[in-house]
Amino acid sequence: MTVHDIRHNISFFRQERPPVYFDNSATTQQPDEVIRAVINFSRYTNANPFRGLYDLSGEATAVYEAARKKVAAFLNISDPRQIVFTRNTTESINLVAECILRTNHSRFRIDPGDRIVVTVSEHHSNLLPWQRLARITGARLVFMEPDSTGLITDAEIESRITDRTKLVAAAHVSNVWGRVNPIDKIILRARSVGALTVIDGAQAVAHMKVDVRNTGCDFYAFSGHKMLGPMGIGVLFGRADLLEQLDPFLSGGEMIEYVTRESATYAPIPHKFEAGTVNAAGAAGLAAACDYIDKIGFDYIKSQVNTLTAEVMNGMREMEGITVYGSRNPSEHNGIVSFSIAGCHPHDVASILNEDHICVRAGHHCAQPLMQFLGIGSCVRCSLYAYNTHREVSRFIDCLSRVRKVMGY
């Protein structure tokens, strides 16, 4: 499959004049197959899964559970019960944090003075839940800091994850500078001290083959809309033994086995974490997205994204006043290039690019501690995917080269 084939399969790019879409770290565009899967469920299978003895409800249940199996296979997970559907990465991570708070089990006990370790480059969604958990339990929130290229070093991992550490949370890939965190080393160190591990995979799953089973992590979270899928569907992988021990934090329909006036017995995993009517159409779309990414192939995705990233960074190096954050090696950015232009506010840069129908993100990228670590308030983020083209990069670089002139420099 080529970039032409991919763009032909995405209606967004079949518009008469589509914008240059370089905000793929926020949301990716959806292939026709994904949109069709969502529409077909809504047209022909629109009934509550699990809740009817009639055939249509059974068909809806089959679609939903087939999607769960598809996602499990996509992550190399043999037991689909370890896949919990949520709304997004944020809800998945909050689910873990809130369930830990509600569970009276020694495996999840966090005492005053214990450590919860995160990286300073985390998205707020993988920071705020742990801030809250630390505040309520009296634990100490400890930050691993990267070097100038965005890498968390072995020494940093060893020194921050101590015997008092009860939980470690880290992004697989940073949403600001695209650096892959050494999660294998982080997880290995955490396991050696008996700490739980929560990995934010939102920026990873569309760019690399994620083998969750072999990572050894306890929990892994991501969103459908960042991997060619629809909005409103997310995933939480959790080890079966941990999910079975955790108490849920959302209660209601379909997450129970039996209810009396005084008490309730919860349903088996994963259903005890999926209270209420589920997003079956979204799950169908996510399954289609998994298939489509497999059809493209991660080798092609990596090659295309790395080539375009190199073109962007090489173009920036020829301009005056541009600072690129993170590694100087384009292949270590996973399509994410965050930068600043001297004397130009990031919002002004994004607005000038927008006038030429180029979409980038400007702001703190929901990573304010990292902005503070870098000594900046905000920056511009260009994020690429396998359906972007050399022509789009040329247009972006040409417009970017005129920003300082437009701003009066």
Active site residue 344: no
Query: How are beta strands 140-144 and 115-119 bridged, if at all?
Result: parallel
Q: How many angstroms separate the CA atoms of 362 and 23, rounded?
A: 10
Query: How are beta strands 264-266 and 256-259 bridged, if at all?
Result: antiparallel
The active-site residue, picked from 366, 379, 382, 399, is: 366
Count of helices and strands (H, E) across the chain? 15, 15
Tokens found for residue 384: 């690429």
Q: How many angstroms separate the CA atoms of 262 and 131, rounded?
A: 33
The torsion defined by the Cα of 80, 84, 86 and 92, in degrees rounded to 10, comes to -130
Tokens found for residue 121: 């480059």
3-state secondary structure 41-85: HHHHCCCCCCCCCCHHHHHHHHHHHHHHHHHHHHCCCCCHHHEEE
Beta bridge partners of 85: 235
Encode 117-130: b = buried (16+ Cβ within 10 Å), e = exposed. bbbbbbbebbbbbb
DSSP code string of 115-140: EEEEETT--GGGTHHHHHHHHHHTPE
C-alpha distances out from residue 292 to 15, 29, 76, 228, 300, Å = 21, 12, 16, 8, 13
Would you please indicate which residues are annotated as catalytic (active-site) residues?
Answer: 366
